[in-house]
Structure formats: structure tokens, C-alpha cells
Amino acid sequence: KSFLNHTAYLSCYFPNSQKTDIKDLRVFWQKGAVEVVHEVYYGQEIHDNLSPKYINRTKMDMDKWTLQLLNAGIVDEGQYTCIIQHRDKGSPKVIHTSECLLHIIANYSQPEIAWLHTGELKPNEYLNLSCSSSGGYPEPKHMTWLISRENKTDRLMGPMDVAQDAVTMLYNVTGRLNITVPTNTLTNISCLLHLGEQLGSLLSVPLGI
């Protein structure tokens, strides 16, 4: 995983137990089946075969056998393969391959609750709220509303609209809640945006009614 516009680190996982000299190895990275991302040819970095979008965006740490991909973007997501060949009697022989999957993360803004209501609230009328968060990646899983009164909290799932920006590829999300106006009890309403198991959740500032 890498944050958007940060450096992504992709490892070859090459133990080099034979302590082979880099001058006897050809190391190249490719994305998918066709795009060449980086190439070290018997100790020299060469750029002749690189896919244009990776030129001047990669660096190889030969001590750690790790590729640095600078300014990682959403279009860089995908599977990368590291292939190492040894110069064996003139004809190169593949001695190691490994694959890694790159996922890009962009932080969503803190969810914000807004009233979709004008005029005075009256008991037992319907209360319409929205909750919005923007500029994130990947697409969130769902949104939960937390309605807390006295010592009890109810969780409600509401509809969530998801829109992806065609240029930045980032997502904006808006959830909606429609409940009856609470009476005689202080009620706090929050919304929780679920981003997936490993990314956790984002909570709004509660709205008190």
C-alpha cells in the first residue's frame, strides 16, 4: 500500500544467497505483461525499453532489492513482477521472479453532517440529514448512522451515493438519513464511514438535537 503522490516501495524479495555481483545480473520490473517499469542491465540502469510513464520516476535500491516508484498515482495500481536473470555462459537465465500488488490510498475528509431541512422542527415530523466526505480512495464500503439517546445507541444503515471524479479518480460520498424528530430527549447523531478492514472508519462530529 502507498499513499497517493508518495513513494511506493516494491520489493523483489531476492535473498541473493550466492552473493552474486550485480554486474552479472539483469534486473527488470514490469507491470502487467507488457509495460517495462525499470531495468538494471549488468550493473547499469538503462532506459531504452521503459514505458514512457515510468521514465524518471523509478529508483532501484540494490542493497535491499527494492524499487522506489516516485509520486505513485491511482493509475499505477496493479501487479508488478520483478525478474532477475544471471549471465550464464553468455545466455541469460532467469534465477528469480516475484510479484507484488500495489494499492493506492488517499485520505477521505472527516465526514460532515448537514441539515436538509428549513424552518422549525416539530415533534414527530421527519428529520432529513446528509453526511458527506470527499477526496478519498479506494471506494468506501458503506456508511452507518449512530443515534444516541440516554444510554442507548442505535445503528442505522442509510443509502449512500458514490461519485468518482473522472480526472483525479478520487471518490466523493454522501449518505442520507430520514428519521422522526426525537422528543423530550437529547439525541446525538453521528455518521461513520467504513473504509474497509485494514483502513478502519471515519467518524463525523456529532450533531445534537
What is the band of 3 on the pLDDT scale with cuts at 50, 70, 90? very high
Q: Contact 195/108 with Cβ under 8 angstroms? A: yes
pLDDT exceeds 80 at position 181: no
Q: Mean of the pLDDT values across residues 183-202?
A: 87
Q: Mean of the pLDDT values across residues 184-190?
A: 88
* Distance separating alpha carbons of residues 83 and 92, to the nearest angstrom: 12
What integer pLDDT is reported at residue 204 of this predicted model? Answer: 94
Q: Does domain 109-208 have CATH number 3.40.462.40?
A: no
What integer pLDDT is reported at residue 138 of this predicted model? Answer: 94
b (16+ CB within 10 A) / e for 190-206 = bbbbebeeebeebebee
Which superfamily is assigned to 2-105 in CATH? Immunoglobulins (2.60.40.10)
What is the band of 49 on the pLDDT scale with cuts at 50, 70, 90? confident
What integer pLDDT is reported at residue 7 of this predicted model? Answer: 96
What integer pLDDT is reported at residue 66 of this predicted model? Answer: 93
The per-residue pLDDT for range 128-158, each reduced to its tens digit, is 899 999 999 999 989 999 999 888 999 999 8
What dihedral do alpha carbons 186, 187, 188, 190 form, nearest 10°? -170
Query: Looking up cell 477521505, which residue turns up?
Result: 108
Q: How many CA atoms within 13 Å lie on the side-chain side of 188? A: 10
The domain limits of the chain are: 2-105, 109-208
pLDDT exceeds 80 at position 18: no
* Distance separating alpha carbons of residues 206 and 209, to the nearest angstrom: 10
What integer pLDDT is reported at residue 186 of this predicted model? Answer: 87
Domains 2-105 and 109-208 are alike in CATH topology: yes
Q: Mean of the pLDDT values across residues 23-28?
A: 88
> The whole model's pTM is what?
0.82
What integer pLDDT is reported at residue 180 of this predicted model? Answer: 83
